[in-house]
Amino acid sequence: MKKLIGIDLGTTNSCVAVVEGGSSQIIPNNVGGRTTPSIVAFTDKNERLVGQIAKRQAITNAANTIYAVKRLIGRKYDSPEVTRARDHLPYQLVPADNGDVRIKIFDRLYSPQEISAMILQYLKKCAEEYLGTSEVDAIITTPAYFDDSQRQATKDAGEIAGLNVKRIINEPTAAALAYGLGKGKNEKIAVYDLGGGTFDISILEISDGVFEVLSTCGDSFLGGEDFDRRVSDWIVQEFLDETGIDLRNDILALQRLKEAAEKAKCELSSVTETSISLPFIAADETGPKHFDRVLTRPQLEEMVNELVEGTLEPCEKALYDAKIAIGDIDKIILVGGQTRMPKIRAMAAQFFGKPPSSDINPDEVVALGAALQGGVLQGDVKDIVLLDVIPLSLGVETHGGLFTKVIDRNSTIPLKKTLAFTTVADNQTTVEVHVCQGERELAEHNRSLARFELIGILPAPRGIPQIDVTFEVDSNGILHVSARDQKSGKAQEIKVTPSSGLSPQEIQRMKQEAQLFYEKDKEVKEKRMSLNRLDGLLKNVQRSFAEYGYLLPPEKTNDVKESIANSLKIMRLVDVPLDDIDQAYLDLERKSMLITAAMMENPTVSSQMGDTQTQMEQLLADAMDEHEDTE
Residues with Cβ within 8 Å of 87's Cβ and at least 6 positions away in sequence, in order, are none
480-506 b/e with 16+ CB inside 10 Å = b?
A: ebbbbbeeeebebebebbbebbbbbeb
Residue 171 designated active-site: yes
Which one is catalytic: 3, 55, 70, 405? Answer: 70
| Full DSSP string of 481-507 | EEEEETTT--EEEEEE--SS---HHHH
550 DSSP 8-state letter: G
Rg value, the chain, Cα:
31
Residue 587 designated active-site: no
Burial of 249 (C-beta count, 10 Å sphere; 0-12/13-18/19+): exposed
355 DSSP 8-state letter: P
| Alpha helices, H only, 268-411 | 297-303, 305-309, 312-322, 342-352, 365-378
Phi, psi of 12 (to 5 degrees): -100, -50
CB-side neighbour CA atoms (13 Å) of 513: 15
Burial of 621 (C-beta count, 10 Å sphere; 0-12/13-18/19+): exposed
d(CA 151, CA 157): 10
Q: Check: CB of residue 127 under 8 Å from CB of residue 367.
A: no
- Residue in 94, 26, 19 with CA at minimum distance from that of residue 365: 26
Q: Check: CB of residue 521 under 8 Å from CB of residue 453.
A: no
Which one is catalytic: 81, 148, 156, 171? Answer: 171
d(CA 467, CA 339): 50
Residue 156 designated active-site: no
d(CA 489, CA 215): 37
Which one is catalytic: 193, 200, 388, 631? Answer: 193
Which one is catalytic: 3, 8, 76, 228? Answer: 8
Residue 70 designated active-site: yes
User: Using CA of residue 139, residue 145, residue 147, residue 153, what is the dihedral sign?
Assistant: negative
d(CA 84, CA 259): 20
The amino acid at 179 = Y
The amino acid at 571 = M
Helix (H, G, I), strand (E, B) or coil at 89: coil
Alpha carbon separation from 102 to 51, 105, 149 (Å, rounded):
21, 10, 16
Q: Check: CB of residue 396 under 8 Å from CB of residue 469.
A: yes
d(CA 146, CA 148): 7
Active site residues: 8, 70, 171, 193
